[in-house]
Each structure stands twice: as structure tokens, then as C-alpha cells.
Amino acid sequence: MTTPQPRPSVAAMPAYVAGKPPAERPGLVTYKLSSNENPYPPLDGVLDVAAEAAGRVNRYPDAGNTELYDALAQAYDVPAEELALSTGAVALIFQLISAYCGPDDEVVFAWRSFEAYPIAVLAAGATAVKVPVTASGEHDLEAMAAAITERTKVVFVCSPNNPTGTSVTQTELDAFLAKVPEHVLVVVDEAYAEFVRMDDAIDGIATYRSRSNVVVLRTFSKAYGLAGFRVGYAFAPAPIAATLRAMALPFGVNVVAQATAVASLERQAELLARVDDLITERTRVVEGVRAAGWDIPDAQGNFVWFAFDSAERCEEFAAAADEAGLMVRPYPPEGVRVSIGEPEANTRFIELMGRFSRG
């Protein structure tokens, strides 16, 4: 008997490795710091809306996501035709690569960066061109510009970069965009945009508006704490946004997710105040571990990055955290990413870094 075989590039796709939940430790509250999630539970009002919407799940969702498009258009003062919604920013990444790339095409991105990029590239049968990040975890934009060939169709700029945490400045992005030919699509992945606190931060909306080849990705998963509902969106020039919408699975963003995302935008101020709290915690963690002697890169997302030089050190660190009731995310051999969590989790993490050998 023979079994039908997928395309070779599909068979070569690595599995997406999700952050693990913490192991149970009797007598110890354990914490998940492995998926860059928002540790705050949904606001009561948001939960009420979700519960009400759940009462309508015998019906299909509004296929046009009208309410949510309108709410986003109003919140960001952009025309609805320059928006594309999908089941998480990750779905938009797949839609985008499958729409713009095929076999023989190249997609340039920094590495390490978000691990869905190479998977989406292989799913489309295209070729990933990985440009190493610098020693301090930053995009090497000069090398990325130099990596663009006549086969390049898409370039990702992930800012803040998952997992290294560093951000590109607007000046750096503008200089980079000036070098990219207009027929190459530049995706500025701003999944963590709301967490950025730096001078000369990227203005994603102004950037996509001033170019014909820039897409900006955002999500409700991180700052808005709705990772479980799966809603992401893109800002893009109208023809690109239309292509992304055309590539979406019909009815992807479900009834409850649509209603909850709208309710979250109505409570944007309250939710973004929680982001401020997470940034206060991020500062405490960064200062705490640096005071303990760790040299870590700038952290502009809701996570911090520890670069190591071997898989063994990454695993040793992850095991020590696990032992302390903290599940972190190792990326052997390059390093370990630790999400900013509940204050107790962060305190325990800072203590751990005070005693974990710096090798």
C-alpha cells in the first residue's frame, strides 16, 4: 500500500514548538513564562461579552467581521480596506507568504526570530534566507538588505524581535526600507508593539501609509491578553490588505473572538494600563538580573533573552528554572527566553538568576 505524499517542502517542515506549561511542584505555585502570554486574566466586562457571544455559537460568525473591522478602523484612524483580520498574526504570516511566494522564491528574515517564519516559508515551498542577529540580538539590517536578491519576495522585520527582545528604530527602518526594491514586500511584525518604550520607536501606521510595499502585523494575543481567542490583524496598503483577506479561511475569526476583541478595544485604556504594569515588572526583572551580573540585551517586548553558547547551558538553565517552578523557553543552542509574568514569578526568577552560575 502506498500513502499519498505531501510536497517535499511540506514534509521538511519543522514542528512549531510551543512553550510548555510548568510541571507540578508539590507545595510550590508554578508559573508559565514560556509563551510570552499576558499573565493578567481577562477583564470582567470582557468576560461577560465573551459569555454572551458564546450563547450564539450555533450561528456562523459574521464572515466579514464588520464590527471588528469598524472598531479597529476607528481605534487606529485607518480605512477598513487597509486592514486584514485573521486567526492570530501567525495566520496572517502564512497567508502572506502563500500569497506572495512560491517555489524558487526567497523570504529573508533575521535569525533567531519568530519560529513560525521558516515553517510558513516551507509550507509555501519557498526558501528561507536566515540572516544572523548581531551578538546583542539585534537585526543586522545591512546584512539583510544585502541578502535581498532578484528571487526575494518577502522580508520580515520583527520588532521587538521574538525571542531576543530588541527593537529596530524608525531611523534604522527607514534607512532599510530605502534599500528594499518596491516589488519586495516588507513585513514589520509588531506583535509586541504596545510594549515598546524607547526613543525613535517605529511608528508602524505612519510607515505602512508612506510606502506601497509595507505590511504591519499586530495581535490581540499579547498586550490585550486574548491569546486563547486567536485574533491578529494587519495594516497594509489596500491591495495588499485585500490579498490577505482573500487568503483567509472563511469564518476564521469566531463569534466569541470577534465580540471579545471589540470589547477589548472599547476598554483599550484599562488594558494598556496593565501593559504599563508589565513594563514596570520588565524593568524590575532587567535591572534585577543585570545587578546579578547578567549581560542581557535591551528588552522591548514582554520577555527577556539570555544568550548562551551551547545547548547544554540552555537546558541547564531551563532545568534550574523548572526546578524553581518556572517554565521558561529554551532555544538551544542560542539562548533562553523568559516571559514577564506575575510579580511573584518575576521575583522568583530574579532570585534564581542571582544564584544560577554565569558559567
The site for ligand PLP (CB under 6 A) is made up of: 36, 88-90, 114, 158, 162, 189, 191, 219, 221, 227, 232
Cell for 93? 504570516
Nearer to ligand PLP, 90 or 240 (CB): 90
Enter the C-alpha cell of residue 290.
Answer: 543585570
Q: 284: burial class by Cβ within 10 Å (0-12, 13-18, 19+)?
A: middle
Q: Which amino acid is at 274?
A: R
Instruction: Find the shortest distance in angstroms from Cβ 307 to ligand PLP.
Output: 18
Taking the least distance from each CB to ligand PLP, the nearer of 114 and 208 is 114
Using Cβ positions, the residue closest to ligand PLP within the complex turns out to be 88
Question: Cβ distance 93 to 217 under 8 Å?
Answer: yes
Judged by beta carbon, residue 88 or residue 288, the one nearer ligand PLP is 88
In the complex, the smallest distance separating the C-beta of residue 191 from ligand PLP, rounded to whole angstroms, is 4
Compute the least distance from the CB of residue 5 to ligand PLP, in Å: 29
Q: How far apart are CA 188 and CA 132, in angstroms?
A: 17
Alpha helical stretches, state H, 292-338? 311-323
Q: Facing residues of 330 across strands?
A: 336
CA–CA separation, 244 vs 58, rounded Å? 27
Pick the closer one to ligand PLP by CB: 141 or 158: 158
Half-sphere exposure of 55 (CA within 13 A, CB side): 5
- State in angstroms the smallest separation of the CB of 158 from ligand PLP: 5
Distance CA 276, CA 359 (A): 34
Nearer to ligand PLP, 221 or 258 (CB): 221
Q: Label the pairing between strands 214-219 and 185-189.
A: parallel
- C-alpha dihedral sign at 122, 131, 161, 37: positive
- Pick 223 or 321: Cβ nearer ligand PLP: 223
Q: Smallest distance from the beta carbon of 358 to ligand PLP, in angstroms?
A: 27
Nearer to ligand PLP, 201 or 227 (CB): 227
CB of 192 to ligand PLP, least distance (A): 7
CB of 168 vs ligand PLP, minimal distance in Å: 13
Could you tell me which of 254, 250, 266 has the C-alpha nearest to residue 230? Answer: 254
